[in-house]
Amino acid sequence: MYSKQVMDHFTNPRNMGEIPDADGVGEVGNPVCGDIMRITLRIEGDRIVDAKFKTFGCAAAIASSSMVTELIKGKTLDEAWSVTNRAVAEALEGLPPQKLHCSVLAEEGIHKAIDDYRTRHGMPPMGDGSQHAP
């Protein structure tokens, strides 16, 4: 059902935890399945130097959280914003159709965290505010 990559990121998640005094925090959830994802970022200049996650959810949600933090570390805010749910799913070597929403949550969590950082620093958010609330 799940790829080796999904199982690896589920059983050996990268970047699990929370950054104290994070520069940006994004929390999203899916009311249908109950997954909740919290992503915290450390940003220096315009670059994400650290990213961590806490996720309550299924194997696909945990793997998506782990993978997205790996994909954005070291990237500029614009580069991280461009990481799509499709990129997360592809990096995980695919997700079952009924679990694709987990990669969407990962993308939305990054968007929320980046917008939180921008708002804290007097910049307009990059998003349109349509992300899911937890």
The whole-model pTM stands at 0.92
Rama region for 58: left / alpha / beta (φ>0; ψ in -120 to 50; rest): beta
Tens digit of each residue's pLDDT (9 = 90 or more) over 50-79:
999 999 999 999 999 999 999 999 999 999
Query: 84: how many CB neighbours lie within 10 A of its CB?
Result: 15
The residue ranking higher by pLDDT, 1 or 7, is 7
Mean pLDDT of 22-35: 92
Mean pLDDT of 79-102: 96
According to DSSP, residue 131 is labeled: S
Locate the domains of the chain by residue range.
4-118
CATH number of 4-118: 3.90.1010.10
Predicted pLDDT of residue 31: 82
Phi first, then psi: give them for residue 120, nearest 5 degrees. -60, -25
Residue 94 confidence class, pLDDT cut points 50, 70, 90: very high
Which residues carry out catalysis?
A: 33, 102
